[in-house]
Amino acid sequence: EAGVAQSPRYKIIEKRQSVAFWCNPISGHATLYWYQQILGQGPKLLIQFQNNGVVDDSQLPKDRFSAERLKGVDSTLKIQPAKLEDSAVYLCASSPEGGRWGRTQYFGPGTRLLVL
Amino acid sequence: AQSVTQLDSHVSVSEGTPVLLRCNYSSSYSPSLFWYVQHPNKGLQLLLKYTSAATLVKGINGFEAEFKKSETSFHLTKPSAHMSDAAEYFCVVSDSSDKIIFGKGTRLHILP
């Protein structure tokens, strides 16, 4: 079975520019997550989708970050405008189980963003 | 509120010796607990998870962890370390409050 796909793998932009990341989850997985992993830290959940509805976006900086999951499959995460502190790896994960507890997450390879 | 604390940021062991990576958690509800591993330039992979069944959980690659409610711990162990075990390990807590919290990670170094 194909894993979680993410693109691009690397991105370098200047501050105040915009950037978008794409994620394709494992086929049939209803739940999709976006995480931010800053160097030396654990991943921080930004947003969680169940099908195409948002379950949790409490840690998403909504003034500059946005995410959507059209048709409950692919998802995009956008940053506009980027700040230096947004430099991080952005991880996408998906999960097949229903409900909100005890689910195994399958992670993509991540997109490494550097903001100059 | 949930939290998870990985007590060591770095652990070094010699090849063939036991591994112990420590994790303590705090949760207002019955938690699910996970260990994930992240090899350099690779995605996070599930090692094992606890979801209120047996308290001793066996995972992949010879790893296991024991859920101890009285100590609020979920330490990861392996009897004999292998060079391929060198990686970053994350303890994760999730409960019915719908929050998912990762620890800061423990980097495991294997000495030849």
pLDDT digits (tens, 9 = 90+) for B22-81: 999 998 777 889 999 999 878 899 999 998 778 899 999 999 999 999 999 999 999 999
Mean per-residue pLDDT for A40-60? Answer: 90
Which residues of chain A have a CB within 8 Å of the CB of B44? Answer: 43, 91, 93, 105, 107
Distance from CA of A80 to the nearest CA of B (A): 26
φ and ψ of A70, to 5 deg: -75, 135
- Interface check B10 vs A, CB under 8 A: no
CA A39 to CA A87: how far, in whole Å? 9
Among the partner-chain residues A40, A43, A104, the one whose CB lies closest to the CB of B46 is A104
Kindly report the average pLDDT of chain A as a whole number: 92
B60 touches A at CB < 8 Å: no
pLDDT of residue B98: 63
Segments of B9-105 assigned E as strands: 10-14, 19-21, 23-26, 32-38, 44-50, 56-58, 64-68, 73-78, 87-94, 100-102
Query: So what's the pLDDT on residue B21?
Result: 98
Tell me, yes or no, if B58 comes closer than 8 A to chain A by beta carbon.
no
pLDDT reported for residue A99: 57
Q: Give the pLDDT mean for A73-83.
A: 96
Closest alpha carbon within chain A to B90: A42
Residue B91 is predicted with a pLDDT of 97
Q: With an 8 Å Cβ cutoff, is A102 touching chain B?
A: yes
Of the candidates B44, B45, B96, which has its C-beta nearest A101's C-beta?
Answer: B96
* pLDDT of amino acid B95: 75
**Region B83-88: what's the mean pLDDT?**
96
pLDDT at A40: 86
Between strands B64-68 and B56-58, the pairing is: antiparallel
Assigned token pair, A56: 């949790």
The pLDDT, as a whole number, for residue A113 is 98
How many CA within 13 A on the CB side of residue A32?
A: 31
